[in-house]
Amino acid sequence: MLTEKDVKQIEAHGLTLQLVYKQLETFSLGIPPTEVVTAASVGNGIEHIPQEIQEKLVELYEKKKEELDIVRFIPASGAATRMFKFLHEFLQDYDPEIETLNKYLKRTDNKELATFFSSLKDFAFVKEVRKKIREIYPDFKHYKKGKRCYYFVKTMMEENGLNFANLPKGLIPFHKYTKYYTTAFEEQLYESAFYATAKDDVYLHFTFSEKHVPFFEREFNAIKKRVSKKTRKKFHISYSFQKKDTDTIAVTEEIKPFRNEHDQLIFRPSGHGALLDNLNDVNADIVFLKNIDNVVAAEYVEDIAFYKKLLAGKILWIQKKLFNYIEFLKNDDQNPETIKEIKSFMWNALSIKEIPEDIPKMIKILDRPLRVCGVVKNTGAPGGGPFWVRDEDGTVSLQIVELSQIDTDDKHQNAIVKDATHFNPVDIVCALRNHKGEKFDLELYCDPKTGFISTKSQNGKTVLALERPGLWNGAMAYWNTAFVEIPLQTFNPVKTVNDLLQKEHRPNA
């Protein structure tokens, strides 16, 4: 199937022939779906922490944080394409020369579009769009309503306008303040100052697409002075890219290598699970992990920060116990009562239900990367959640599982999914060092069997793509994990542009 020319291309891409054959084998054999046993719930894998304990955990974090290396890790590679999906469709479908806007809206019953046009003044980007329109279309104000709306969207989206269709989501104007607007990128900096600081320094690591780096650098230079003045903190930005050697070969529906018009193999990025390599390069005690678009306007940040500090306090509390127990178990003089206490801790705090009697095996389980995941009540948002999962060897463990991993055609599995009470908003605090202060090698705690095969389009043709185990599900499958219930107010992602109309994205609304 592969020629000498293919081998040279594979090696030039940073891959090996053995790895590509392994990927092709995975396509051929398929990836079995994850078997969920039951959905996690409060009292069954998810902890609801009483208010007085919450405050103590926040106090613990505040007390300890100056001694810690703290980093915020923010995946920011995604383009804003899906955010503007209905606007793309509008540009393709609507012709202002042959139909009025009202007729089009009535004919298509497009409520998203109607909401967008009736709320234009509330979006942070409206002034920028109108300014650009005056440059490109000097007669714009004489156009009829439908044509004005069409060219407003065209100016927003297309390359000779503001080019929103090709910008990363982190650089789209999100929030409109009296004298300026902010992007999600700026709001992440501002939010970090409220909890991810030590000695007035804030360290953030973003994963960008390489082509977007100049845009982010320009934005940082433009906002650095403002955000530093507002927060009285010093910001340190680092970034990395999804590594080419994590790409996977694309195949046809017949499981043959897909080739372009030049007879070259096609390699595709392997999903956000590839970012495990990037996270593995971060050397810190505590890492706050959160998506770029989950931000709020400044007036809501203090409330949000409380729950970030709660998760961080919880991880420090668990970590101290873990470190003490590991040291105890390494001591030959072991007290049966303490062994019993350790087993109870593993069962209750870490939801480990299959605890070995063998001390070295117990140490191995305790001595792993640690994460505390905030989970919110399920509102029907697409994405993963906490489930009890059975491995192929029969072991049951608590995991974050994406919907794409579950066989929802199976009635029993689908019923479990429908019973889920909580959702994973990717609000995670990670502890990456062991009891000796050494950094864990995160690659050792990934479950390679939890990737999935997806269908994509390449030059108008269907291809199959292999996605690596997701960063917060399969890539962290063998971490020690605790789930903590946090309020829905902490989860404010911008999946479509109209989400920016919600009060959490509207300063002084």
Q: What is the mean pLDDT of residues 20-38?
A: 93
- Nearest-angstrom CA–CA distance, 50 and 314: 13
Is the residue at 173 inside a domain? no
Is the residue at 230 inside a domain? no
Q: Are residues 46 and 108 in the same domain?
A: no
pLDDT at position 382 is 67
pTM: 0.93
User: How many domains is the chain built from?
Assistant: 2
Q: Which two tokens stand for residue 174?
A: 């999100």
Domain end call among 118, 142, 166: 166
Q: Are residues 158 and 22 in the same domain?
A: no
Instruction: Read off the pLDDT of residues 344-393 as tens digits, 9 standing for 90 and up.
Output: 999 999 999 989 999 999 999 999 999 999 999 998 766 789 999 998 88
Q: Are residues 40 and 150 in the same domain?
A: no
What are the distances in angstroms from CA 198 to CA 71, 74, 203, 235? 10, 18, 9, 11
Q: Are residues 70 and 8 in the same domain?
A: yes
Residue 5 has pLDDT above 70, yes or no: yes
Which of 349, 448, 355, 347 has its CA nearest to residue 395?
A: 355
To the nearest whole number, what is the mean pLDDT of the chain? 93
CATH of the domain at 296: 3.90.550
Q: Are residues 119 and 265 in the same domain?
A: no
Is the residue at 121 inside a domain? yes
Return the bridge partners of 457, or none. Answer: 462
Domain end call among 125, 144, 166: 166
Domain end call among 140, 166, 192: 166
Q: Which two tokens stand for residue 199?
A: 């000695």
DSSP state of 178: S
Question: Per-residue DSSP letters for 353-388?
Answer: ----SSHHHHHHHHSS-EEEEEEEE--S-SS-EEEE
Strands of 242-305, DSSP E: 248-249, 267-268, 286-290
Q: Are residues 320 and 411 in the same domain?
A: yes
- Residue 400's domain comprises 4-76+246-505
Q: Are residues 30 and 156 in the same domain?
A: no
Instruction: Read off the pLDDT of residues 158-213 as tens digits, 9 standing for 90 and up.
Output: 999 999 988 999 999 999 999 999 999 999 999 999 999 998 999 999 998 888 99
Is the residue at 486 inside a domain? yes
Q: Are residues 49 and 126 in the same domain?
A: no
pLDDT at position 458 is 79
Q: Are residues 388 and 483 in the same domain?
A: yes
pLDDT at position 457 is 80
Is the residue at 143 inside a domain? yes
Is the residue at 172 inside a domain? no
Q: Are residues 36 and 124 in the same domain?
A: no
Residue 413 has pLDDT above 80, yes or no: yes
pLDDT at position 366 is 97
pLDDT at position 454 is 85
Q: Are residues 327 and 472 in the same domain?
A: yes
Is the residue at 418 inside a domain? yes
Is the residue at 262 inside a domain? yes
Q: Are residues 339 and 452 in the same domain?
A: yes
